[in-house]
Each structure stands twice: as structure tokens, then as C-alpha cells.
Chains A and B, each alone.
Chain A
Amino acid sequence: MENQNLYILLDVIFRNGSVKRLARKGVDYNEIAIQTQNAIKNDLVSYDDQRVILTFKGVELLKQLEITYKKTKKEEWIEKDEKNRLDKNRREKNFIFVPRQTELTF
């Protein structure tokens, strides 16, 4: 697993976030499972049937990887919602756009 993806995996575990974050980056769920197992073997993560958490070693590695991979500029971590952008000819003055409720996705 690339270091950047390992960083995301550790960060997701640290924050108890969603593993979808990795899936959205194109990492297959089966690969995420294998890498989680590797992280457990390497004593970065512990799983005691109650909770998956980072070990001390895992937290240390996360801090280290954070220096390189944490996105601090908002342009990097906020993605433009291109699919909901209005096309040019609908952006003229006085154009009022009322979205259909069923078409809103977040």
C-alpha cells in the first residue's frame, strides 16, 4: 500500500472515520482488509473484538506520515463539486436556479 493510503488508513482508524474514504480513492475493500491485517501484524493497529484502535507505534507513524500527506490547504481537501456545476449558458445575469430536491446529493 502506498504511504499516502497507509496514512489515510491510520487516520481513519485514529478518528474512527469511514473506510469509504479509502474506497473513494479507488482502494478496493479487499485490499483495505489485507492492509488492515498487515497493520495489525506490524503492531500499528489493535483489534480486540470491541474496537479497532491505533497502538502507540501506530500513532507515532501517523504523526510522521502526517507531515508529508496531511492536506492543509483548503484547495487540496475540498473538492470542487463539478457534477453539480451549472453549464455556461445558464450562468447569465438574472438566472435563478432552483434545484430539484431529489437531485441533491451530498
Chain B
Amino acid sequence: MNPTTFARLYSIFNAKRWHDKEMHEVVFTNFCELLGNLNEKQQDLLLELAERYTWLTFAEYQGRLVHIFNTIIPEEEITNLSKIILFPVMKPKDEEKTKSGHGVLIILRGIRPFFTRYNHLNFQEVETFEHLESPFDLSNTERIFLLDDFLGTGDTIRTTIEKLLINPNITIEKIRVITVASHQQAVTYMDSIGVRYYTEIVTRKEISDYYTSPELEEKTAIMKEIEKLLPSKKYSFGYGLSEGLITLYRTPNNTFPIFWQDYEKNDKKYKAPFPRY
């Protein structure tokens, strides 16, 4: 990696204030190692993607959630409510596990006493599907808020909603989805079923939806070349071909895997900039 490429990377870290984040030194070192293992065209693409990359730490969730609850959710949504049930987004088979939605639930437990707009209503935390099965009923002034930090392809939110709707007393009008960030694929799904959602960030396919031909074909080919460093093609272009560029407290597998999956060059193993493991 030549000094100009190195300086470009450093400038990106500066502009995005990534140097203020915990663990930025490890991320910067891993990024440098990665760029050092690529040719110039590949470096250029990764730097372009880095410029559009979102990195949110767990500590930043709080501010984002406060913004969603106090500003993004419209007044008329909450004025006439008496109760909000908070439920983590998860598949029924994952009920026993701690998922990212549980993390959001815990953060909200700490900050919701400060939500002045919600003083007139009760919050109730629920963590099992069984609790929401028939004969459970929701009155007209009660809502279920489904919580997560990130929705990727939309698979998990679809499973969660489908499971809840088995109970005829729960209708789509009484469900809201609250996330720190959502990928366009999940947003498209939520639009298609007409569920209301509130999110701070909407991510998209950062090669397919960003470039047009002939740049699109060129960048796609370069990324395929870069991905040859990876041990498998399982997550090529991100899970479900999401082409994501986001790291939350953990990087979702929807993000391009070169940013989170360990790789190998000349028999030497390297850590990705935002390792998942």
C-alpha cells in the first residue's frame, strides 16, 4: 500500500470520526493489512465502500433509540395508547438464545423512563411467543413494538410477524417495528405487508444499487476478485446478496464478507477489519 492510499484510509477514519470509537486501532490496523493485500483497483473499490460504510457501536444505540422514540415516531401514534408491549425480533427456534433484539430491549429498559411523551402509558416486556398466543388479546389502545438493531434480508422479521399473526387477536395494524437500521430488502418486505416501521438508517445494496453500467459490471468483477481471498463463497456479497456496508455492535453477515470474514494470503491468515469471530 503506497502512502497516498494509506493517507486516504486515514482521512476516511478522520472524516467519519472513527478514531473516536473504541477499538478503532484494531480496525485501522486490520484495514491497512487488508489494503496491503490488494492491488490498486481493489484498494480503490474498498476505499470507496469505506466512505459509504456505517459503523455504530453499542454505546451509540442509546442515542439512536432516543431519537426514534422521541422524534421519529409521530405524536398521533402514541397519544391514544395505553400500553406498548416490547418484544425482540427473533425466530421461534431462537427463543432460548440471546439475540440482538434482546440487547435493544435491555437498552430501552434503561432509557424509557426518560421518554416524557410516553408517561401516560405502560410498557410491558415480553420475550416468549407463547405469551402472545391465543387467547392473548390486544385492545385498540395497545400495540406490540418489535425491536431489533438491524434487519437484513427480512427473513427474521417475516418469521416473527407470521408467528404473531397466527393469533387472530393480533393484527398487522397493531404491530410496529423499531430498529436502529434496516436493509432495503427488509424495508421492501415490511412495505409489502403494510406493517409500520421506524428506523434511523436504511441501507441498500452498495454495488448493485449504487453504480450503473459499465461501472457496475467493473466493480462487481473487482469485488469477486477480492472475495477470492476468503475461505468460502458462502457469504459472497453478503448473506442473501445484501451487499451491506454496516457494522453495529456486531457486523451483520449481510455486509460484504471481506469486511468481517478472516481471509488468507500466501498461507498467512489475516483478521478482517470488523471481525465477527
Contact = CB atoms under 8 A, between A and B. Distances in A.
A17 interface: yes
A48 to B, nearest CB: 10
Interface stretch (B4-12, B73-81, B112-120): B4-12
Contacts, number: 52
B216 interface: no
A36 B1 contact: no
Interface stretch (A26-34, A59-67, A72-80, A87-95): A26-34
Contact of B32 (A19, A36, A52, A103): A19
Contacts of A52: 3-4, 6-7
Contacts of B33: 29
Given A29-B28, A30-B29, A18 B1 contact: yes
A20 B7 contact: no
B6 A19 contact: yes
Nearest to A49: B11
A33 B6 contact: yes
A42 interface: no
B266 A105 contact: yes
Nearest to B25: A30
A16 B3 contact: yes
Nearest to B265: A105
Interface in B8-64: 10-11, 25, 28-29, 32-33, 36
B213 interface: no
A33 B25 CA distance: 11
A1 interface: no
B267 interface: yes
Interface in A10-29: 12-13, 16-20, 23, 28-29
Given A28-B29, A29-B28, A29-B32, A16 B7 contact: no
A69 interface: no
Contacts of B36: 18-20, 23
A51 B4 CA distance: 5
B2 interface: yes
Contacts of A37: 10
A19 B3 CA distance: 6
Contact of A20 (B1, B4, B11, B28): B1
A47 interface: yes
B6 A32 contact: yes
Contacts of B7: 36, 47, 52
A91 B4 CA distance: 45
Given A28-B29, A29-B32, A36-B10, 6 more contacts: A16-B3, A19-B2, A19-B3, A30-B25, A33-B28, A103-B267
A32 B10 CA distance: 10
B2 A16 contact: yes
A102 B36 CA distance: 21
